[in-house]
Structure 1
């Protein structure tokens, strides 16, 4: 064993540059694979983080315009929603619907507190809103049934809005002025990714204060028993048919109402994540192959340069297995050593990425989206990838080794 180690060491010493270049291709292959996997995981984790707190079993219904004629009515008609549509949704589909809610909005309202002000959209919502949307109450409370019944002028602010209006004081209990209407701050909410966050007030309050009547902007509800894409598509078809009968549009008119199904969106996102993951592995594997090809080439060159030596060994009685073992061992040593270096370097880079940009977000005032999160690779995957490279490197050295074993001593001794 010691003789074998000394011989491999001597061979490497005599061919330092060639060994280093081959080793670099091996290390680079495993390094790039781990870094690509880490970066891909960062993107995938960010995508999943955006929907982590969302109710995946929920749908949101928006009104639209008819794209087909119906019972003598022309296409292009505007469809509106009202509270009776929300009630119909709850009663007609009670088997599949758990909770319903609705939203109406008043845009571009100026909120003022002392010298601070902000232009924001007011959303009138139901008490079930936190059950339907990905929000959390950070301080205070949310809108309750009594607020709805009494049409109270209470308001729940997003944490970023609260910081803008109350930079030096505690907002809870304070009164805001909304273009002549006074609202008391009862709660502060937060969400994971804020895109133009709204201020939330009771649904009934917004109806009365801003003269919205019975109209609503959208209907939201959570579902049960819809566990596959096919079941969700069937539910959407039935829902369009029921709403079409009431609102006078064709059941197959997708433009009349727009259904945002978060479950099917989640399935599509998972498919996209899987595609990204596969693409990263394909790129990484081809990068690994370049290192394996490098090992195979160096072994072929080694066999050609040492043909005369192998002939002398065989003439002196060396067994073919000893020559085979010598070449394969050299391949394993190069692949293992440089593969380990590449693995360690790759893990170090992913940990550095995690430290520097592990929770990377795009933040522009009231707009905040997480775009990169926890770009690391599981240590077991890194080890498995390195072991795969070592096995592949061994196989890459096997073919040149078999060629060396098959050389006849007389032919080998004649070689230059």
Structure 2
């Protein structure tokens, strides 16, 4: 294996038969290149689907209200249905074993000022559980807590970009900002990965907003997370149960599809997983087909290479070369070419994925990456296939009598 003369012969054979070596290597390099690009694109598409759930937990349910579409028990069609603290507390009491976190929210848009700086931001009046439902990260300070809700405190938690707009590099925690003429103390700063719009939101206590800006207990939305141990059919049944409960206490027809809308992430996650599974299988079969094409190509080339070298092998046998050494020579030459070509294919493939990665976002392919272990595994498969493909004709050629090999045309 480490015979210097043997390796000298191998590299001499490769250098003297450049076209043959290039064709053999090109088949391997091209197969690995295509394989790498396919898996890079596949991972990019999976990243795109996964990013849909960066800002919200997969086990979240969102409840909205609308207008009635069917007259029911004295309520006319087109009546505006309003959710309130009452409905949220009802759901919390009657589903406490299934709900992990629940929070009502009210949405506003206010002009916010700090000293001489002024801008318009989205205001979300929320409760402490919103921190766990929307899964943002606090970079400094704290979020809204129970005492803030009970005492209707005038505190605010601002997004990273709000902080940069109003305070630049200065510390914002402990400072006061003005929301529609009322001062709020900043107690925390948060960020949300991959969502700049969310980082321009300001959170304030729901109870405070209801007293100061609405003078009622209406809410725009109720968000909750359910027990993660629930199966998909159980989640579907739970979502339907929530809808039925709200329709009953709000006097809405069970057949009304517009008055109460319940959306759960489980369905979106299921659909996304199915799409990703189909995509993975598709990429796998295409990649597998590429490898098969590479194996067939290298097999044909090896058969041709061995038959072309019959005279050379005959001379070697005349000079005393054993059948074993002839087979080893051909196999090592095959391994050398396929290994070098495979490595080159990997480098070009990974380089291509990194080079064009950012430009693929317009095609919903986000941050395409390649699992090196999979690519190396594919290359090893091709190398082994090349060895097997070369072994059969090499073994046959090693058994040919020298006089027959020398006469071969």
TMscore range, shorter length: 0.7 to 0.9
- Measured against aligned partners, the alpha-carbon deviations of 1:129-149 in whole angstroms (never above 9, x if no partner) come to 212221222222222233223
301 and 217 in structure 1: CA distance in 2 versus 1, 3 angstrom threshold: same
- Give SS of 2:214's match: coil
How many residue pairs were aligned? Answer: 403
1:81 aligns with 2:83: yes
Q: For 1:296, which of 291, 296, 299 is the aligned residue?
A: 299
307 and 67 in structure 1: CA distance in 2 versus 1, 3 angstrom threshold: farther
Task: Measure, in 2, the Cα distance between the counterparts of 1:388 and 1:75.
Answer: 67
387 and 246 in structure 1: CA distance in 2 versus 1, 3 angstrom threshold: same
- Measured against aligned partners, the alpha-carbon deviations of 1:97-129 in whole angstroms (never above 9, x if no partner) come to 23321001112x111112211111211111222
> Does the 8 Å CA contact 1:47/1:371 hold for their aligned counterparts?
no
> Does the 8 Å CA contact 2:303/2:389 hold for their aligned counterparts?
no
* Residue matched to 2:143: 142
1:169 aligns with 2:173: no
1:377 aligns with 2:380: no
- Give SS of 1:210's match: helix
Give the superposition deviation at 1:36. 4.1
Give the superposition deviation at 1:316. 11
Residue pairs, 1:179-258, within 5 angstroms = 179-197=180-198, 198-211=201-214, 213-224=216-227, 226-251=229-254, 253-258=256-261
TM-score (ref. length: structure 1): 0.79
Task: Measure, in 2, the Cα distance between the counterparts of 1:326 and 1:371.
Answer: 45
Task: Measure, in 2, the Cα distance between the counterparts of 1:210 and 1:12.
Answer: 82
322 and 361 in structure 1: CA distance in 2 versus 1, 3 angstrom threshold: closer
118 and 218 in structure 1: CA distance in 2 versus 1, 3 angstrom threshold: same
- Measured against aligned partners, the alpha-carbon deviations of 1:34-84 in whole angstroms (never above 9, x if no partner) come to 354345445545654664574333312112345566568666554331221
* Residue matched to 1:366: none
Residue ranges of structure 2 left out of the alignment (5+ in a row): none
Q: Which deviates more, 217-226 or 48-57?
A: 48-57
* Residue matched to 1:102: 104
* Residue matched to 1:261: 264
Residue ranges of structure 1 left out of the alignment (5+ in a row): 363-369
Task: Measure, in 1, the Cα distance between the counterparts of 2:290 and 2:64.
Answer: 47
What value does the CA root-mean-square deviation take over the aligned residues? 4.0
* Residue matched to 2:384: 391
326 and 70 in structure 1: CA distance in 2 versus 1, 3 angstrom threshold: farther
